[in-house]
Structure 1
Amino acid sequence: MNSSPTSSPQTTRASVPTIHASRYLQQLCKHWAHKFETEFDSTQGRICLPLGEARLTATPDALVIDLTATNAANMTTFQEVVVSHIERFAFREQLCFVWE
């Protein structure tokens, strides 16, 4: 059986410079807690969405976002969904998301 590259999980990471990382991590996890399985505290968060799993880490100067999409075809959409939600919480500052 042949496995296509779009059928296996894909991961990516962004480190977003901000001094409000903990606030955004908690807001995102609380926002999605009513719909999806979430676990979080002030420095670590995990959200299980239909598109995949998001793991967030708050450091004093950045929000680190690790995404594991269910497949490669979902990754761009997954990134866009996470970014758009964080940008809504961070409307007072301009964030820079660079995915590795």
Structure 2
Amino acid sequence: MNDTHPTAHGVLQTGDGARYVKQLVSHLGRRSRVESTGEETVIHLTVGSCALRTTDRALHLHAVGDDAEGLATVQRVVGGHLERFAQRHGLRVVWS
């Protein structure tokens, strides 16, 4: 995707980011293409993609949509699943 596509950055404040990425890949990987390197995991949806990187204290997300509606869908699908997985800890993805 090129620079003309809408993007958003998200953060989930957690020290368990790798666990959430693994859970997300297991869940979404059944229907979506997933690429993973040692540092980054990218989930490709039909309307865009989301790159995930973990640090000691956070899970960082970089969502890209084919258009504004696609971006909203990527945020809703990826962010929504992460929030459901982290629900018992009261964690939320903060998008900017």
- Segments of structure 2 that go 5 or more residues without pairing to the other structure are none
Matches within 5 A, 1:47-86: 47-86=43-82
2:44 alignment partner, SS class: strand
Q: Aligned equivalents of 2:60 and 2:9: distance in 1?
A: 7
Deviations 1:42-75 (A, max 9, x none): 7521111012011000111000010001111222
TM-score, reference length from structure 2:
0.84
Percent identity between matched residues is: 31
- Segments of structure 1 that go 5 or more residues without pairing to the other structure are 1-7
Contact 1:22 1:42 in 2 (8 A): no
Deviation beyond 4 Å, 4+ runs, structure 1: none
Call closer, same or farther: CA 1:92–1:43 in 2, change over 3 Å: farther
Contact 2:50 2:74 in 1 (8 A): no
Number of residue pairs aligned between Structure 1 and Structure 2: 93
Larger Rg: 1
Q: Aligned equivalents of 1:19 and 1:12: distance in 2?
A: 22
Q: Aligned equivalents of 1:30 and 1:41: distance in 2?
A: 16
| 83-92 or 33-42: bigger deviation | 33-42
Contact 2:10 2:62 in 1 (8 A): yes
| 35-44 or 64-73: bigger deviation | 35-44
2:92 alignment partner, SS class: coil
TM-score, reference length from structure 1:
0.81
| 15-24 or 35-44: bigger deviation | 35-44
